[in-house]
A and B are shown apart, each in its own frame.
Chain A
């Protein structure tokens, strides 16, 4: 069944929509959640929450592409779970590591909440990622969107692990500069 037909099932309020979605995207969403949570039970819960959220969103929404639509929902659920978990104890898993890595992109004296609306930040990051060379973009999105390990990225993209690590470091540095150039934050020295 193609995406259009599945979306139509949601709009018709047919419960088959969820069965079809699970068959087609269950594995995909499970991987996304598992990358972040590293726990099968929690991941399954996120995936089930994703189906419910999709059910509640359609109608009114009619996503053009179901895969990224569902992936975003799963990722958000998983991040919410991990944030709760890391609020208790930060560190120790892949998502916490990715979060720590991103910390360096913003100067420590920068109060993001006061300076910028989330939407604007999203727009700027999307533009930044869009301007990256192909391979660098894949590595960055794999690491910070899908929370894939450096080892997995290296294997899937045919790179060395140290190469992935070095590339990510360069990209984070570029992102930090880019955010400054966009006027979102100033360096400590200014």
Chain B
């Protein structure tokens, strides 16, 4: 073995935190921990580049979803003002379940042909600190929006409290979900809101009776082995009424090869209750070049790739508001938001 190869192998053994830090800096693997209490968890936002890699490497499979929760509908600049159609579809729910010293209730739900959103509020008694299911014992308290210094483990020990890791899941099968995910927001150590989102590819006219499962695991400093802990599962019944979408048109690119690293195909715009949804066929020709691509902009509105590939092979993007006409021009942007290419599309039907 060459000595440099042995060096390379030894470098491979550096500690996990150094690897994770660099992978975050390079954008290879987004941090699943919280960066701020009320910030959108960008770590869950998949880039167009990720879609491209998926198209090439994984085929048409689901991946992590774009997360925006009902709360963000009101403030998301991509979607503009809350559409009336979407507001009408938000249902305030009252279902509540109780666990051992904690409770959870569904606050709001929303459903259309492509998206399901459910907001779950969790509260616990003073002996608990409620934390997201994907937090770790060594996660910083500041990342949860708590003013204290230190880690969850230290805080639980010092305060003599039990950590309650909580998450919520939707029924993938019943809702026809291709991907799901959660976003968390702590209002206090004993209160947390979970925004659950699912991307769907099916439609039904009838109301959908389904469940949202809340999973909680308690950990205290006396319980040294997290692997022995048993999760508590509670099912929240929800009824979803689906909002309908209207196709706006199909468009073809003037030059399918004008975006470096890709071959572009058909663009589809659909009016959903949340806004205009953009779907685009993108075939990756060169992975490294493709990775430079972050997002796309249409008439000043940015659309983020959610990482979902629909059954027809389109990459699905977030919704936006606007009148994009019969000859839209899409700007493709890199990680510094510089324009890589401008591509004209023409309406075909």
Contact = CB atoms under 8 A, between A and B. Distances in A.
Best-buried of A98, A100, A101, A155 by chain B (most CB within 10 Å)? A155
B298 to A, nearest CB: 25
B310 interface: no
Given A47-B57, A67-B29, A138 B12 contact: no
Contact of B14 (A47, A69, A119, A129): A129
Interface residues of A, number: 63
Interface in A97-138: 98-103, 105-106, 110, 112-113, 118-119, 121-122, 125-126, 129-130, 137-138
Contact of B57 (A4, A40, A125): A40
A99 B335 CA distance: 29
B27 A156 contact: yes
B170 to A, nearest CB: 12
Nearest to A87: B2
A26 B16 contact: no
Given A26-B54, A26-B58, A118 B10 contact: yes
Best-buried of B11, B57, B335 by chain A (most CB within 10 Å)? B11
A58 interface: no
Interface string A18-53: 000011111110111010001010011001000000
Given A99-B4, A125-B10, A141 B57 contact: no
Contacts of A142: 22, 25-26
Interface in A70-106: 71-72, 75-76, 79, 83, 98-103, 105-106
A34 B14 contact: no
A141 B2 contact: no
A22 to B, nearest CB: 7
Interface string A142-159: 101110100011011100
Given A27-B53, A72-B12, A121-B10, A146 B26 contact: yes
A163 interface: no
Nearest to A47: B57
Contact of B15 (A44, A62, A126, A152): A126
B5 interface: yes
B26 A152 contact: yes
Contacts of A189: none
Nearest to B24: A138
A157 B179 CA distance: 31
B11 A145 contact: yes
Nearest to B54: A27
B13 A126 contact: yes
The range of chain B's interface size is: 35 or more
A65 interface: yes
B25 to A, nearest CB: 5
A30 to B, nearest CB: 5
Interface string B47-71: 0001001101110011110000000
A31 B53 contact: yes
A121 B54 CA distance: 37
Nearest to B7: A102
B349 interface: no
Contacts of A152: 26
Interface of A: 2-4, 22-28, 30-32, 34, 38, 40, 43-44, 47, 62, 64-65, 67-69, 71-72, 75-76, 79, 83, 98-103, 105-106, 110, 112-113, 118-119, 121-122, 125-126, 129-130, 137-138, 141-142, 144-146, 148, 152-153, 155-157
3 closest Cβ contacts across the A-B interface? A122-B13, A141-B22, A68-B16
10 contacts: A22-B61, A34-B288, A71-B29, A72-B12, A72-B13, A76-B12, A102-B7, A126-B15, A130-B15, A146-B22
Given A119-B13, A141-B14, 16 more contacts: A2-B32, A22-B58, A24-B64, A28-B28, A40-B57, A64-B136, A67-B19, A68-B19, A68-B20, A72-B12, A72-B19, A99-B5, A122-B10, A141-B19, A141-B21, A145-B12
